[in-house]
Amino acid sequence: MELDKSNMRQVIIDSANQLKEGLDLAKDISFDGSPAGGFKNVVVFGIGGSAMPVDVLNSTVQTKIPVYIHRDYDLPEFVDKESLLIFISYSGNTEEVISSINKALSKKITSAVGISSGGKLEELCKENNLPFVKVPAGIQPRSATGYLFSVLVKILSNSSIIDDVSDQIIETSTGLQKIISELEEEGKALAKKLLNKVPIVYSSDKYKEISRIWKIKFNENSKIPSFCNYFPELNHNEMVGFSEVKNNDKFYFIIIKDKKDHERNKKRMDLFSSLLKERGSETYFVNIKEGSEIYKVFSTLLLGDWVSYYLALEKNIDPTPVQMVEEFKELLKN
């Protein structure tokens, strides 16, 4: 398409294959991570799109020791030589992540691995003899979640920190390929409803990070404000913010719903939708597909990709560039 100068549509179509490829990329990386005699925690350093795989991990896989995400400079105070450190920067140049690995190196913490498509992170790992996984370059970080998630999972399973879920990942990859056209059509139809609206994405607590990733995709692909929250928390505070708003028709609510959500939360979702309708707002329910947790999450994320992609086209803009981010990075250099 003329607007889609970087062919993001093909990137979305190809995204299911990332899951299989990521497993192979990290097949040789392992640490002694058995909770009985190894690490006491895992800390993953990443921000933006490079942090998404940790959000997906914590939504889908049971870990034997805590896995934390650090979205900032330097190191958390609790990090020591009993922590496994995983540095993720798709570009390899994310300054917060580079700050963190430099701090770890200064403290002589060597139980660490880098994941990127190259850049400074690759250089630092090679200079300091740290394990490194190189993922394919050429796409936006937010579009590389499949690669980064599978690499992360493979490292953790090789290190006995999680059970091996490779079969689920491969099944998910195959399953997504079968439904990609169906999800594309649903995404295209929902995008038309969202034109000139502000999407508000809600889910249960279990899937709150998935709602947040949808929000991010609206921000970066569609170039619009978007917000997220989760049930039942939002019924105790946020919903009151819409009670007296005169332009509620400017908001469009997307509720991500799973058959296994708590029955009271499912009732909350339905009742809240009714209250919104009385106040002039529309609601769209995204019904999570049945399957493994990994399949449920990635199929829902894939739909979010399509919605945000087609909303960008509805707005006559290219979904790939993030000009304001690049402009901000330039300002930081001064």
Contacts of 25 (CB under 8 A, 6+ apart): 133, 134, 135, 147, 150, 151, 154
DSSP letters of 201-215?
EEEEGGGHHHHHHHH
81 is catalytic: no
Q: Which pLDDT score, from 0 to 100, does residue 33 have?
A: 62
188 is catalytic: no
The residue behind tokens 């199929």 is 299
Quick one: CA torsion of 298, 303, 307, 308, rounded to 10 degrees? 10
For the chain, give every domain's residue range: 8-164, 178-314
70 is catalytic: no
Active-site residue identified among 236, 244, 326, 333: 236
Model confidence over 134-193: pLDDT tens digits? 999 999 999 999 999 999 999 999 999 999 999 999 999 999 999 999 999 999 999 999
Q: Which pLDDT score, from 0 to 100, does residue 1 have?
A: 62
What distance in Å separates the CA atoms of residue 259 and residue 156, rounded to the nearest whole number? Answer: 29
What distance in Å separates the CA atoms of residue 6 and residue 300, rounded to the nearest whole number? Answer: 23
Task: Please give the CATH topology (third level) of the domain spanning 178-314.
Answer: Rossmann fold (3.40.50)
Q: Which pLDDT score, from 0 to 100, does residue 35 have?
A: 56
Instruction: Encode 271-288: b = buried (16+ Cβ within 10 Å), e = exposed.
Output: ebbeebeeeebbbbebeb
Question: 31-35, 81-85, 110-114, 257-261: which has the minimum mean pLDDT?
Answer: 31-35
Has residue 213 got a pLDDT over 70? yes
Active-site residue identified among 220, 223, 289, 293: 220
Contacts of 28 (CB under 8 A, 6+ apart): none
AA letter at 58? N
Task: Please give the CATH topology (third level) of the domain spanning 8-164.
Answer: Rossmann fold (3.40.50)
Domain 8-164 and domain 178-314 have a common topology: yes
For residues 83 and 109, the answer to whether their CB atoms sit within 8 Å is: yes
DSSP letters of 257-268?
E-TTS-HHHHHH
Q: Which pLDDT score, from 0 to 100, does residue 136 have?
A: 98
What distance in Å separates the CA atoms of residue 43 and residue 60, rounded to the nearest whole number? Answer: 17
Q: How confident is the model at residue 230 (pLDDT cuts 50, 70, 90)?
A: very high
Q: Which pLDDT score, from 0 to 100, does residue 280 have?
A: 87
Q: Which pLDDT score, from 0 to 100, does residue 36 have?
A: 46
